[in-house]
Amino acid sequence: MSKTIENNQIEELQKVQFKSKDIEGNSQRTIGVLFSPNNSTECTRDYLDFAKQYGQVRLVMPDEFKKDLDLLIIPGGMDMNASTRAFLPSISFNHGCTDPYFEYFRSFILDVYIENEIPIFGICLGFQLLAARFNSKLFPDISGHTSGMHYVETTDLRIKVNTYHHQAIKELGEELIPLAYSTTKNGKKELVEAFTHKEYKISGVQWHPERMLNLVSSSTFIETGNLRGDLITNQLINNLLAP
């Protein structure tokens, strides 16, 4: 499969400076970002910029296993396959395109990383793929989450994060621990927005932290609490990278 991926897109991405930011210990880490040519170059670049906060960055093809990774990031992308058993029956079903590269990874490669105990962090689609792998139940189509910002709650925080999805987690599998929920206007828990695994070093978030990196200078930064949103993600990833 790797040979079929467009070489010009990979060459352009290789121009990105993959060196980590100057944070103690980061230079010894290798962070893999799962690649698909169906994600735009700009989108993939955002994930690479996000990942290099934590170590040296490497693109990972969807058909390969890299045993020397300190962390694998599964990014967002298209919809998960409609035939996935994790989806609940629904009269509302607005299914978008499915990415065959990510579906191949989900079906044949993901378990290899899990069995070899490589830490994994999922974002949006990656978050959903991991949830489905551990027997969670998902909505195939929901409204109100495809764009903009909304609140999520942890045990001690209520913050605003971005939202760009229409498939969503309803119930987590028994091996996963919910860490944050989206909430309705009356404060009722709605959807799981962050989780971690009870035993494996596996975590994820439904929102897009890579799209929040450049909001520090924005007028919405303090107002929406994006710093705290980043801190949730940062804490999860640091836990995955801890010895």
pLDDT band at 224 (very low <50, low <70, confident <90, very high): very low
Kindly state the tokens that stand for 106: 């989900």
Q: What percent of the chain has pLDDT over 90?
A: 45
Query: pLDDT value at position 154?
Result: 81
What is the pTM for the complete model shown? 0.84
Q: Which residues make Cβ contacts (< 8 Å) with residue 34, sequence separation at least 6? A: 60, 62, 72, 73, 74, 75, 102, 105, 126
Encode pLDDT of 162-204 as tens digits: 877 578 888 899 999 999 988 777 777 778 999 999 999 999 9
Q: Which CATH class is domain 2-241?
A: alpha beta
Sketch the domain layout of the chain as residue ranges.
2-241
Which residue reads 């924005």 in tokens?
A: 218
pLDDT band at 140 (very low <50, low <70, confident <90, very high): confident
Q: What are phi and psi of 177, to 5 degrees?
A: -110, 120
At residue 109, does pLDDT exceed 60? yes
